C-alpha cells in the first residue's frame, strides 16, 4: 500500500503505524501525480487499486462564490480526481490481471451525497464537484470495462471529520449561529440516529477494493445513515 497526502506531517505517522510506504503529493500538480504512480510501480511493479480520496470543502452563499473559490475547489475535487484516475488507469490497462481475478485494476473515488442534494445551502460549488465525480466514475466504468478495470464511487453523508468542523464554522459565520449548531442540525436528521464516522465509510471502501465487488462497476454507493431517504 502507498499512502499519499499533501501534508507529510499527517501521512507519515499513519504510514509508520501501518508499516506502509508513503509519498507527499499535491494532486493538483501533474508532476506529483505521475511521481505518485511511478513510486507505486517502482515498489510493486503494478497497481491493483486506486482510492481517489482527495477533497476540500467550505461554505459560501451562492451569490458570493468567487472565481477563486470555484477554481480552488474544482482543482482538487474534480480536476485532480480525473487526472489521478487517468494516470492510474493508463498503467492498469497494460498490466496482467490481478491474481485470482479477471480484473486488471479497480478505481474507487470519493463522491458525496451532495451530488444528489443540490439544494444544500451555501455549497453549490461543492455539490457540483461531487456530481462531477459521480459522472466521471460512471463514464470511466463504461470506457474501461473492455480493459477489465472497474470504476465505482462511495458517497458519504455527514462524517465527523475536520472538514465538517470547517463547514460548521462557515455556517456559523454566515448565519450567526453558535459553533456546533449547523452540525447538530445536520446530524439530527440522520435516521440511524448518530453522526457518521470514518470507519463507517472505510468498510465500504474495503469491500470495493476486495474481490467480493469484482462484478460491480459504475456504482455510486450511498453511505449516510439514511440521510438521502430520510
What are the start-end ranges of the H helices in the chain? 8-18, 30-44, 67-74, 81-92, 124-144, 162-175, 181-187, 198-209
| Cβ atoms 134, 153 nearer than 8 A | yes
Using alpha carbons only, give the angle 72, 74, 77 rounded to the nearest 5 degrees: 110
Could you say which of 41, 122, 126, 215 is catalytic?
126
Enter the DSSP assignment of 3.
Answer: E
Query: How many angstroms separate the CA atoms of 82 and 216, rounded?
Result: 20
Enter the DSSP assignment of 98.
Answer: P
Q: Say how many C-beta atoms besides its own lie within 10 A of residue 167's C-beta.
A: 21
For 155, the grid coordinates are 458517497
Identify whether 126 is a catalytic site residue: yes
How far from 36 is each of 1, 32, 40, 41, 42, CA to CA, in Å? Answer: 12, 6, 7, 9, 10
Active-site residues: which are they?
A: 126
Amino acid at each position: 500500500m502507498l499512502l499519499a497526502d499533501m501534508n507529510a506531517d499527517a501521512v507519515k505517522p499513519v504510514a509508520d503505524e501501518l508499516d506502509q510506504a508513503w509519498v507527499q503529493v499535491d494532486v493538483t500538480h501533474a508532476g506529483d501525480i505521475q511521481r505518485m504512480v511511478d513510486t507505486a510501480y517502482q515498489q510493486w511493479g503494478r497497481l491493483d487499486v486506486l482510492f481517489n480520496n482527495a477533497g476540500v470543502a467550505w461554505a459560501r452563499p451562492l451569490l458570493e462564490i468567487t472565481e477563486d473559490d470555484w477554481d480552488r475547489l474544482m482543482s482538487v475535487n474534480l480536476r485532480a480526481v480525473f487526472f489521478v484516475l487517468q494516470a492510474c488507469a493508463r498503467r492498469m490497462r497494460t498490466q496482467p490481471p490481478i491474481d485470482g481475478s479477471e480484473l486488471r485494476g479497480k478505481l474507487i473515488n470519493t463522491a458525496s451525497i451532495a451530488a444528489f442534494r443540490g439544494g444544500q445551502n451555501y455549497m453549490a460549488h461543492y455539490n457540483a464537484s461531487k456530481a462531477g465525480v459521480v459522472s466521471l466514475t460512471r463514464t470511466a466504468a463504461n470506457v474501461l470495462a473492455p480493459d477489465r478495470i472497474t470504476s465505482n464511487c462511495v458517497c458519504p453523508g455527514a462524517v465527523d471529520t475536520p472538514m465538517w468542523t470547517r463547514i460548521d464554522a462557515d455556517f456559523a459565520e454566515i448565519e450567526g449561529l453558535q459553533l456546533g449548531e449547523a452540525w447538530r442540525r445536520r446530524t439530527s436528521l440522520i435516521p440511524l440516529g448518530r453522526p457518521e464516522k470514518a470507519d463507517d465509510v472505510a468498510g465500504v471502501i474495503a469491500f470495493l477494493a476486495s474481490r467480493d465487488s469484482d462484478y460491480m462497476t459504475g456504482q455510486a454507493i450511498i453511505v449516510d445513515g439514511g440521510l438521502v431517504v430520510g
